Amino acid sequence: MRSNRATKGTGAAIDANPIYLKPFSGELKARRHHGDAKLQVPAKLDLYSKPNFETYSRFIRNLRDMAKYNERIILCFRHTHRITAAAALRLLAEVESLQTSHEKLSFGCSIPPKRRGKYKNSDRVIEAVLQQIGFFTLIGQPERAPIKQVDITRWKQSSGSLADGSLAAGLLNSLPTSISKKSKAHLYKGAIEAMANSVDHAYPQNDSEHPERKWWMLVGTTSDKITLLVCDLGVGIPVTLPMKHPESLLKSIFQRFGILGNADADLIHASTFIKRSRTNQTHRGKGGADIRSITEHFPTALLSIRSNRGCYVVAGPQREGSMADGYKEIPDTDGREWSASYNGSIFGTLIEWTVSLKELEK
């Protein structure tokens, strides 16, 4: 194990081999298991509802604190019965980043057992998701036989530290052949812009924790829709937007589109109207406009951008349904745009598009 003493501030000391600094929440238990630090994963790995997002944020904070003082962490999925693609990708990114920044750190995990009752695990869904996104390979834990979950086996994941169009194209080419070339081109523009923003803007210069300036991407296909996700662990849009763009430009966007506040969600909202990236590279598109444009090309599409403590959501003009509790409808948007503010951070940015398969086939 590492040294049994660690300093906090000047002259202060923390007890020998602490597991975590603060027990942020009762549902996030941490203890020692055969000498390893063990952290219980939330029952619902989900970023969509406000309570689940805030629990997830506390979980990430605990995980980061544990990584500072322990050489091996066991993630206990025993009570986890829900996991979404967005939460799975964000967890994969976090664990990979921690392994990179803490050379001696290693991970293990315990998976949910088969059980009866309200939350059955007869299909081993949690294990199937972790297997499909490469989580077991990342932490070096042997896998059991492949689990065939039709929707989950259609998830494809990649990552990189360059705005490499071939990587985005490779994932998009795994989509059903029924999807038109024009539709793939629209998805490609949004994905490549999100990847490039991660590389060019998300991370500060000389970032020792994230020297690779990395992004993570996932494409998922179900029987009726496509989900595309791009994630980074940078400082977040609310931090980079005012640093990278003139105050006069941001002021004009706020005034033109009636953005009244300066919370994280408001800054994310404003970022979708930045028409051209500062890099002006030839393979790049129109900045935030490319990210937003998918909801204009596909009438029932949904775009969600979560960054730090805020979320902005915009739907296509024919999208039906309502948002979860905790989201506020943005005035004068015809019921198509929402925002949310959280008591916790996602520690980076996660962009998600959901598009109907029928619309993509046109």
DSSP per residue over 303-361, as a string? EEEEETTEEEEEE-TT--S-PPTT-EEPTTSTT-EEEEE-SS--SSEEEEEEEEHHHHT
Instruction: Specify the amino acid at residue 294.
Output: I
At 325 the pLDDT is 78
Cα R_g (the chain), whole angstroms: 21
Asked if the structure places residue 177 within a domain, the reply is no
Report CA-CA distances (Å) from 187 to 80, 137, 155, 249, 313: 32, 28, 16, 27, 17
Q: Are residues 119 and 211 in the same domain?
A: no
CA torsion angle 325 326 332 337 (round to 10): -80
Q: Are residues 127 and 193 in the same domain?
A: no
Q: Are residues 117 and 231 in the same domain?
A: no
Asked if the structure places residue 157 within a domain, the reply is no
Asked if the structure places residue 283 within a domain, the reply is yes
Q: Are residues 343 and 199 in the same domain?
A: yes
In CATH, what number is assigned to the domain containing residue 40?
A: 3.30.750.24
Q: Are residues 317 and 238 in the same domain?
A: yes
> Beta-carbon neighbour count of residue 264 at 10 Å?
26
- CA 16 to mean position of chain CA atoms: 33
Q: Are residues 234 and 350 in the same domain?
A: yes
Asked if the structure places residue 145 within a domain, the reply is yes
At 199 the pLDDT is 86
Asked if the structure places residue 352 within a domain, the reply is yes
DSSP per residue over 42-96, as a string? PSEE-SSSHHHHHHHHHHHHHHHHHHHH-SEEEEE-TT--EE-HHHHHHHHHHHH
Give the residue numbers spanning the domain of 295: 186-360
Single out the residue in 99, 126, 149 at which a domain terminates.
149
CA atoms of 247 and 318, how far apart (whole Å) = 34
At 1 the pLDDT is 38
Q: Are residues 353 and 207 in the same domain?
A: yes
At 280 the pLDDT is 40
Single out the residue in 123, 149, 175 at which a domain terminates.
149
Segment holding 108, helix H or strand E: strand 106-110
pLDDT tens, 272-301? 998 744 444 433 444 566 889 899 999 999
Asked if the structure places residue 180 within a domain, the reply is no
**End-to-end C-alpha distance for the chain, whole angstroms:** 58
275 DSSP 8-state letter:
-
Instruction: Specify the amino acid at residue 13.
Output: A
At 168 the pLDDT is 84
Q: In sequence order, which residues have a C-beta less than 8 Å from that of residue 47 and are 6 or more positions away?
A: 53, 56, 84, 86, 87, 90, 306, 346, 350
At 123 the pLDDT is 58
Domains in the chain, number? 2
Tokens describing residue 21: 């600094």
In CATH, what number is assigned to the domain containing residue 212?
A: 3.30.565
| Residue 215: closest CA among 158, 172, 272 | 158
At 20 the pLDDT is 38
Q: Are residues 13 and 70 in the same domain?
A: yes
pLDDT tens, 324-347? 778 999 999 999 999 999 999 999
Asked if the structure places residue 168 within a domain, the reply is no
Low-confidence ranges of the chain (pLDDT < 70): 1-35, 114-123, 150, 208, 276-289
At 322 the pLDDT is 75
